[in-house]
Amino acid sequence: MGVIQGTQRQFMTGNEVVAWAALAAGAQAMFGYPITPQNEIMHYWTRLAPEHGLRFLQTEDELSAGFATIGAALAGSLVFCATAGPGNVLMQEPISMAEMMRVPAVWVIQQRGGPSTATVIYSQQETRLTCFGGNGEGLRIVYSTSSHQDLFDYVIKALWAAWEFRFPAFVLGDGYQAKMREPVTLYDPESAGVNLPSVEPILKPEGVPSVDREPVHLRNTFNIEEELMDVLMGHIRDYLDMSSRVVESEEHPCEDPEVLVVAHGVVWRSAREAVSVLRDQGIKAGGFRPITLRPFPEESLRAAAEKVKLTVVVESAYGQLESMVRDRLYGLKVPVRSLLKPGVGVTAEEIVDSVIQFSKEV
């Protein structure tokens, strides 16, 4: 029996939703270090802990939180971690180890302004860091959420995907989503037919090493260039193979669209609203939202962009999504314009104005 009976409609903050989703998915442990705006995830997790037998440790820093998360995952625990901003920067060290050693752990990132300490409020400036941080290839699964329902759904999905594919998985939220309250439908994933993670000890499986089985010796250090590349190419092949099972996107449809507005995360809400307003005004607009930023839904984006005369990328960062979009649209003739507001939320009205302006220009 799950911790959530049936289906419940609740009015909650995003941080609460994350804690409930992790609990509903069967997560057993969380490690964290205080940083705004994700703190309430730890607060709710620790409040829920005694009743549900959950583990939590507030570590001495984000490095420790990240590495303890890895230790717990290796020991076979469904575990997650949450951070933001400068904490996310520090967290890249353990995350790179998780990437190399295929550790199935989940990080929830509630983006705040950057670089440096910047603001504790909101941003989409951790998009590139979360996708490609560390000294590697970005072998990660990154879900970008735009609503509390997304937070609930994708925390559960990220926990599943991490263990299914053995790559570190991320739920990329932001300070707005963390702090705002809106309705959300909580459900027991099992009775809702949602995939649940299948967890097993990686480091300490059944049996006595050298008696029942060979010892497990895990490492992230390699001797020579070719040995490293062999290991990495194995990981990369696995990553590419799983991509078709993981990529997700959403479109706000419009017949014969002439303008495609591309946004991710909470900005998608403004983009969708702007698309509706534009259509009311007689402008044939459509919207595209990558839900997974890693792997990126390249095919569906190209298919949507091929049909239009103008693509407009909107984000609360200075070109982090735009560069991903431009990369994916390479070779298409459609012009790309962007509304870039690093560290600041974007209103639907601003998007409407920009699209009208860009439409006149091209």
Considering only residues 187 to 206 of the shown chain, the ones binding other proteins according to CB under 8 A are: 201, 203-205
**DSSP code per residue over 142-172:** EEEP-SHHHHHHHHHHHHHHHHHHTS-EEEE
Among 116, 135, 221, 244, binds other proteins (CB under 8 A): 221
Of 108 and 247, nearer to other proteins (C-beta) is 108
Alpha-carbon distance 177 to 165, whole Å? 27
Contacts of 202 (CB under 8 A, 6+ apart): 73, 74, 75, 76, 103, 104, 216, 218
Alpha-carbon distance 299 to 310, whole Å? 18
Min. distance of Cβ 330 from other proteins in angstroms?
30
Q: Segment 335-354, which members bind other proteins (CB under 8 A)?
A: 344-349
Among 49, 89, 118, 179, binds other proteins (CB under 8 A): 179
Alpha-carbon distance 75 to 105, whole Å? 11
Contact string 136-165 vs other proteins (x = CB under 8 A): -----------x------------------
Min. distance of Cβ 189 from other proteins in angstroms?
21
Among 159, 267, 293, 304, binds other proteins (CB under 8 A): 267
Instruction: Say if residue 115 is preceded by a cis peptide, omega within 30 of 0.
Output: yes
Among 212, 255, 256, 361, binds other proteins (CB under 8 A): 212
Among 180, 196, 334, 340, binds other proteins (CB under 8 A): 180
* Residue type at position 250: E
Min. distance of Cβ 246 from other proteins in angstroms?
26
Give the range of 15-23, 83-91, 132-140, 272-280 binding other proteins by CB under 8 A.
Answer: 272-280
Q: Segment 298-337, which members bind other proteins (CB under 8 A)?
A: none
Q: How many residues bind other proteins (CB under 8 A)?
A: 72
Among 4, 266, 304, 310, binds other proteins (CB under 8 A): 266
**DSSP code per residue over 23-91:** HHTT--EEEE---TTSHHHHHHHHHHHHHHT-EEEE-SSHHHHHHHHHHHHHTT--EEEEE-HHHHHHH
Of 209 and 245, nearer to other proteins (C-beta) is 209
Residue 83 is a binding residue for other proteins (CB under 8 A): no
Of 136 and 335, nearer to other proteins (C-beta) is 136
Residue 64 is a binding residue for other proteins (CB under 8 A): yes
Alpha-carbon distance 3 to 126, whole Å? 32
In the block, residue with structure tokens 């570190």: 168
Residue 276 CB-half CA count within 13 A: 6
Give the range of 83-91, 214-222, 236-244, 303-311 binding other proteins by CB under 8 A.
Answer: 214-222
In the block, residue with structure tokens 């974007």: 346
Residue 91 is a binding residue for other proteins (CB under 8 A): no
